[in-house]
A and B are shown apart, each in its own frame.
Chain A
Amino acid sequence: MTARAIGDSALVVAASDLLASEFDRELVILNLRDGVYYGLEDVGVRVWNLLQKPVSVATIRDALVSEYQVEPTRCERDLRALLGELASRGLVEIREGR
């Protein structure tokens, strides 16, 4: 499934009807709507924490670039892929800006 494109002015936020539990650097997320469990680790956990309030892709990218010393273009590409995957599973909402 191709990830849908996220506009630059869009905000992403964790969906509702989810439960989560963090163990060390792993995170288990339960989607209550379909009863499926998901796992995130390392950087994914950091991204998830940033998603708890509506935030732009650029904001997350900037946080990751400063915290993990990764190359911005590559980071944004991987981040968009992750967000697209999360959105396709109903774990993240994408609110397009005007």
Chain B
Amino acid sequence: MIRAWRRFWALSTGDRFLLVETAILLALIRIGLRTLPFTTLRRLLVSHLAPVSEPGPPRTGEDRRRPARTAGPPPAGMSVPERVAWAVGTLAHRLPGPTSCLAQALAADTLLRRRGHSPDLHLGVRGRPADDPGGLRAHAWVECGGMVVVGDLDDLPGYGVLSAPER
């Protein structure tokens, strides 16, 4: 606990703020998911949170990469999506109890939107609903700037993305 505290204060101001904001968001989202319809929660997150200006390094490439999974502060020069991935990934495992993929996706989506990015939050399913309804697996993830920010899985390409029907 003391070590974590010291590590926290060794971070840059921007990273400390990001971690605090992420922690608060994750806590609110976890409660919101239990108490509100998803659409209502999403609308609240998007419309009630003011944008945050984020001094980040210039974005270099758009290659699809996994964010670093190591513990510790993000190395200098990380893009905003990578820093959001770091913040959500770090805190999702530290909060008491499980933090669902949906909560992490909503948090990452909100953090990125507040910083002027245009993330894509995807909900997907895999499995054979007719053959094995109990085996249907649902997942949520966020893509931004060509990378999977949170929710990357080895079998992610096997998930069928749920989308809004064409009207």
Chain A binding surface SS class: strand
Q: Are B165 and A20 in contact (CB under 8 A)?
A: yes
Q: Binary interface profile of B, 123-167, with partner A (CB < 8 Å = 1, else 0)? A: 111001110010010100000000000000000000011111111
Q: Are B130 and A21 in contact (CB under 8 A)?
A: no
Q: Which of B129, B138, B163, B166 has the most CB of A within 10 A?
A: B129
Chain B positions 14-44 with a Cβ under 8 Å from a chain A Cβ: 37-39
Q: Are B133 and A33 in contact (CB under 8 A)?
A: no
Q: Are A33 and B165 in contact (CB under 8 A)?
A: no
Interface residues on B, range: 20 to 34
Q: Residue A17 at the B interface, CB < 8 A? A: yes
Q: Are B165 and A23 in contact (CB under 8 A)?
A: no
Query: Can you give 16 A-B contacts (C-beta < 8 A)?
Result: A17-B39, A18-B165, A19-B164, A23-B128, A26-B129, A28-B136, A28-B162, A30-B138, A34-B37, A35-B38, A37-B136, A39-B133, A41-B129, A41-B130, A52-B167, A53-B167
